[in-house]
Amino acid sequence: MSFEGGGWKMGRLFLHGARLLSRGFCSLGSNRISVCIVGSGPAGFYTAEKMLKAHQTVEVDIIDRLPTPFGLVRYGVAPDHPETKIVANQFSRVAKSERCSFFGNIALGSVISLSELRENYDIVVLSYGAESDRSLGIPGEDLNGIYSAREFVWWYNGHPDCFNMAPDLKSTDTAVILGLGNVALDVARILLRPVSELAKTDISDHALASLQDSTIRKVYLVARRGPAQAACTAKELREILGMKNLHIKIQQVDLDISPSDEEELKKQRIQKRVYELLSKAASSPHCPPAEQRELHFVFFRKPDRFLPSENGCTVGAVHLEKTFLEETGKRLAVGRGEFEDITCGLVLKSIGYKSLPIDGLPFDNHKGVVPNLKGRVLSSYQRGHEAVEHGLYVAGWLKRGPIGIVATNLYCAEETVASISEDVEKGLLTAASGTPKPGRQGLLQLLENKNIKFVPFSGWEKIDAKEKMVGQQRNKPREKVTTWEDLLKASNV
């Protein structure tokens, strides 16, 4: 890959390298601890911040497969939630600190291997999140018009892997969203919010244009369990229920709760609040004008199969099976053998994200996480026979599964850093040979040998400045650069 037009040349890489090296690497002396964090989302940045604070001789390199930092803050948080993105300022201060460097455009697993990182750094922390999706494994899942919510979120947030997804929002008036977590509420809100409001956010230009022409007026949120088990939180639910000109439909019968539900709600304050909000919305009087949009909450229905439309290749309906809940245990949804269809032209599966394994990394395929003990990666995790991979740690969704808000990663990072500090204290991370590992210098050498170009933080700042400048002209906080090629061009330093 060469970007001569944009002035992106290999020589620049080494200029950066020299600059990075002269910026502190040598000054840390022989006690230097080299740390590489893979993934620059909230878990990665909180880990970097805590490590830098905890150890004055630590030097932290953060690598990311994307040219841009901040992971879920940039590509996961909804465009109409700008306050959640403010944390990026704090992460920028971390990236610009003397002992920290960012290396964008470096994909672990393809550009660089885990064993190469471990050879070069005393400590490797993996916090690359969950970039894939759980699947339903039911017939018809490959039909056109069915996407994971992650792909849809990436599309409207201008992620370079989904900029050309182009979901058809013009051939149907109905979308079905499967799942009732906060991501499901995010995508429902984006489909239903007036475009005039979205235009003031950092939503990507292509998504805004498509939503402008959207004919979708009805959105169904389908949960396999009941309103007492909804996975969303009260704040997010209140927001969507309070949207102007949105007609909320909830069947009263779905709100009947069993004694077991009542017991569950007594123990879960947020879920109790969610249930109360749904009950209140169901009983509010409605008098919808003709042009009003509708949001239907459908409970106790699980997807059984997707049915094609007349053309045979696009989704035409979701075939749902009615469910009831096990009274005890995990309160799983059990099929009743009764079915019904919702006709639709768009389906978003919002049933959870999934982390991906890489070569050389122990991985629990069932749970979709790296087996770990408070962030220490375990190569063997049978109870009583746990074996630790020295120098290898995890944080974030890769460590605990795809749950929690941005701030959850703060506590998660704290725990991992506490484990690292304990291991440093015990002398467990000293190289067996006694020779210090090369750290950043080794990484730069490796990238040079492989002829790999990386985007330093200053490259991201160029992208950032360009996005903000174009955004200002369009009355929005930023206009995201949405293709790999343009991102690399814009990062030119």
Closer to ligand NAP at the Cβ: 100 or 346?
346
Kindly state whether residue 404 participates in binding ligand NAP, applying the rule CB under 6 A.
Answer: yes
209 bridge partner residues: none
By rule CB under 6 A, what count of residues binds ligand NAP? 26
What residues from 128 to 167 belong to the interface with ligand NAP (CB under 6 A)?
134, 136
Kindly state whether residue 192 participates in binding ligand NAP, applying the rule CB under 6 A.
Answer: no
Kindly state whether residue 405 participates in binding ligand NAP, applying the rule CB under 6 A.
Answer: yes
Kindly state whether residue 181 participates in binding ligand NAP, applying the rule CB under 6 A.
Answer: yes
Considering the complex, what minimum distance in angstroms separates the CB of residue 363 from ligand NAP?
A: 20
List the one residue from 97, 132, 144, 182 that touches ligand NAP (CB under 6 A). 182
Considering the complex, what minimum distance in angstroms separates the CB of residue 264 from ligand NAP?
A: 12
Kindly state whether residue 350 participates in binding ligand NAP, applying the rule CB under 6 A.
Answer: yes
List the one residue from 20, 35, 124, 223 that touches ligand NAP (CB under 6 A). 223
Closer to ligand NAP at the Cβ: 231 or 444?
231
Closer to ligand NAP at the Cβ: 127 or 491?
127
Closer to ligand NAP at the Cβ: 160 or 402?
402
Q: Segment contacting ligand NAP (CB under 6 A): 15-23, 94-102, 176-184, 436-444?
A: 176-184
List the one residue from 101, 157, 174, 229 that touches ligand NAP (CB under 6 A). 229
Binding mask 51-90 for ligand NAP (x = CB under 6 A): ----------------------------------------
Kindly state whether residue 179 participates in binding ligand NAP, applying the rule CB under 6 A.
Answer: yes
CA separation for the pair 65, 138 (Å, rounded): 32
Residues that bind ligand NAP (CB under 6 A): 134, 136, 178-184, 186, 223-225, 229, 231, 233, 236, 302, 350-353, 402-405
